[in-house]
Structure 1
Amino acid sequence: MSGSSAGSTVPRRQLGRHLRELRTGAGYTIATAAELIQWSPSMLQRVEKGHVDKVRDVDVRELCRIYDAEPDLAEALIGLARQANTEEWWHSYGDLIPENFDVYVGLETVATSLTVYQSELVPGMLQTSDYARTLIRTGYPSGREAEVDRRVQLRIKRQAMLKRPVRPIRYDVVLHEAVLRRLIGSGDIMKAQLKALADASTRPNLNVRIMPFTAGYPTGEPIGSFTILEFGVDGKGNPVEPPVVYLEGFTGDLYADKPLTVRRYRDAYQAIQRAALGDQDSRKAFRDLAKEYV
């Protein structure tokens, strides 16, 4: 086991977060758990904070045994440990980490703000259940209806972060006009989805805007969808955790937390936002576009 390095912090932060949740869920203090695995309390604390760049498989497995973790979760955490020192972390589905272990949702759950540019689809955080169901059923054509229902409910459940009464997540999103004109399901589904976007944009913690086709390429070149996750600041104004850029792919996802990469995507978002319609014009456009679907 060694100290932190220049690699991506995302895998080891997620590993530490899950280990901490397992420990507290099992009712162990730092001191008690450290004694059981024969570490110092400070070492366990550093692992839980993601400050250790290499944790052995055998140690993760033993902690999972102590905490009585499910076998699938234990395997996922071992996979995280093995990838805890990569430069830009590419999470390939089913490679080391089981496919049903959602790394992104784990990050999203603890984020304080999300900055999103979406050029393809309405983001999951803003999808209606019918819009989500259409996508999920298309993506899992052989899936049983109960499994489709489960996936829809999980997606809708995530949206509670936008509506919680205490410290709701800050959500800034720009949708390319193509997202709104791409038919998902039926005209009725699109009409309801556009109305839902208009309604969502009235919430004080949400900023939902449209980048029209007429904006061209405000970044100077094509750019795909991305999300910047931020995790708040401490009493001194420093980030609690480094921000992360998330790029979703068909066979895997990229998590980037190098400062230069994050800065470039922030600059790109600012250019996109400047080219987008204003709040009120976007809201009106959502409602006008909804009328086009019959």
Structure 2
Amino acid sequence: MIDEGRSTLPRRQLGRYLRDGRNEIGLTLEQVGTMMQWSKSKLSRIEKGEKGGRLRELDVRELCRIYEFDDEMMAAMVALAEQSDEKCWWQTYDDVIRKSLNMYVGLETVATSLTIFRPDLVPGLFQTPEYARALDSIYFPDDSPEELDRWGQLRIRRQSIVQRRAQPVAVDMVLHESVLRTVVGTHKVMAAQLRHLADISTRDNVLLRILPFEAGFPVGLSVGPYVILDFGLDAKGNEIAPSVVYVEGFTGDMYSDRRQDESVYRTASAVTRRAALDVVASRNVLRQMAKEFAT
């Protein structure tokens, strides 16, 4: 059971999936509330991931039945519901979230701003199709060309949040110079990728800085890839949802909505930005290196 307490990441994700499922079949809060013998306000709190309700596994399964979720989707919903407050602070979710429910992509889609650091490769939101295909063909060696195409299509859909006209997500990103110099695919692929980064950095909603080798380790040690996701403010100036820190790992991804973790990563981001080249100088480096790869 989910006990009463502060909103947690698994609870918020569960609520979002349930809300989307309800909307997809065209039911109102009142209609589902009547089916479940709940008040409209209780169901609304569940969908927002707020405290004030106890959600049994039996209830989750019944909601999934009403929303016509398949068995895989239902299993993922039950797994989210089973996460306790103590476990959800900092945890790998790969064992409970099925591939059809990519938690990060779900969070990314509703975020209003992203603070990104990558010391290794270009983030998926900014990869060209050729760069992405070169990576995917190595990471998914057993996938067919059709399956690799679907991975590419997913990236294209994800990238729309940056380039859409209406309220594009704001991105503040630092890439280590090693990202620019590590060859993915061919030199031709790298040239196109770096030109794409330079071009997209001219957008008002994208701040892109390069951390040069000469900067050393500005935080004092090596920092792996991470993203801080923010979800905006309501009409009263309060957070719509707590920020989430996403840390990508080789054996699993981790998520945290603890304030102390957020503070540590925001401090690291501020220090890294100060050590990085400014936006204009970074764009010039990208264009220069693109020329070098093209020759």
Taking structure 2 as the reference length, the TM-score comes to: 0.95
Letter in 1 for 2:274: R
8 Å Cα contact 2:175-2:210 kept in structure 1: yes
Q: Cα gap change, 1:266/1:54 in structure 2, threshold over 3 Å: closer, same or farther?
A: farther
Q: Distance in 2 between matches of 1:213 and 1:54?
A: 52
8 Å Cα contact 1:54-1:84 kept in structure 2: no
Aligned-residue offset at 1:88: 1.7
Aligned-residue offset at 1:55: 2.5
Letter in 2 for 1:20: R
Q: Distance in 2 between matches of 1:129 and 1:141?
A: 17
Name the counterpart of 1:167: 167
Name the counterpart of 1:183: 183
> Helix, strand or coil for the counterpart of 1:159?
helix
Name the counterpart of 2:111: 111
1:37-116 mapped onto 2 (5 Å cutoff):
37-52=36-51, 55-85=55-85, 86-93=87-94, 95-116=95-116
Q: Distance in 2 between matches of 1:159 and 1:90?
A: 27
Name the counterpart of 2:231: 231
- The percentage of counterpart residues that share the same residue type is 47
TM-superposition CA deviations, 1:102-132 (whole Å, max 9, x none): 0000000100000000011100000000001
Quick check: 32-41 or 129-138, which moved more?
Answer: 32-41
8 Å Cα contact 2:97-2:103 kept in structure 1: no
Letter in 2 for 1:202: T
1:218 matched to 2:218: yes
Letter in 2 for 1:177: E
TM-superposition CA deviations, 1:30-79 (whole Å, max 9, x none): 11101111222221111111014853221111101011122221111111
Mind listing any 5+ residue stretches in structure 1 that lack a counterpart?
none
Quick check: 171-180 or 48-57, which moved more?
Answer: 48-57
Q: Distance in 1 between matches of 2:84 and 2:196?
A: 39
RMSD: 1.5
Q: Cα gap change, 1:2/1:12 in structure 2, threshold over 3 Å: closer, same or farther?
A: closer
Q: Distance in 1 between matches of 2:262 and 2:4?
A: 20
> Helix, strand or coil for the counterpart of 1:252?
coil
8 Å Cα contact 1:190-1:290 kept in structure 2: yes
Q: Distance in 1 between matches of 2:109 and 2:271?
A: 27
Write out the 4+ residue segments of structure 1 that deviate beyond 3 Å after TM superposition.
1-4
Q: Distance in 2 between matches of 1:56 and 1:249?
A: 32
Q: Distance in 1 between matches of 2:19 and 2:29?
A: 9
Aligned-residue offset at 1:176: 0.3
Q: Distance in 2 between matches of 1:180 and 1:45?
A: 46
Aligned-residue offset at 1:82: 1.1
Name the counterpart of 1:17: 16
Letter in 2 for 1:229: L
> Helix, strand or coil for the counterpart of 1:227?
strand
Q: Distance in 2 between matches of 1:228 and 1:89?
A: 14
Letter in 1 for 2:190: M
Aligned-residue offset at 1:84: 4.7
8 Å Cα contact 1:92-1:251 kept in structure 2: no
1:268 matched to 2:268: yes
Name the counterpart of 1:135: 135
Q: Cα gap change, 1:282/1:72 in structure 2, threshold over 3 Å: closer, same or farther?
A: same
8 Å Cα contact 1:3-1:51 kept in structure 2: no
TM-superposition CA deviations, 1:181-221 (whole Å, max 9, x none): 11101000000000000001000000111000101111122
8 Å Cα contact 2:9-2:88 kept in structure 1: no
Aligned-residue offset at 1:87: 4.1
Name the counterpart of 1:157: 157
8 Å Cα contact 2:2-2:81 kept in structure 1: no
> Helix, strand or coil for the counterpart of 2:120?
coil
TM-superposition CA deviations, 1:156-180 (whole Å, max 9, x none): 2111111111111101100000111
> Helix, strand or coil for the counterpart of 1:16?
helix
Q: Distance in 1 between matches of 2:70 and 2:246?
A: 27
Q: Cα gap change, 1:2/1:151 in structure 2, threshold over 3 Å: closer, same or farther?
A: closer
TM-superposition CA deviations, 1:143-164 (whole Å, max 9, x none): 1100000011101211111111
Mind listing any 5+ residue stretches in structure 2 that lack a counterpart?
none
8 Å Cα contact 2:232-2:240 kept in structure 1: yes
> Helix, strand or coil for the counterpart of 2:136?
helix
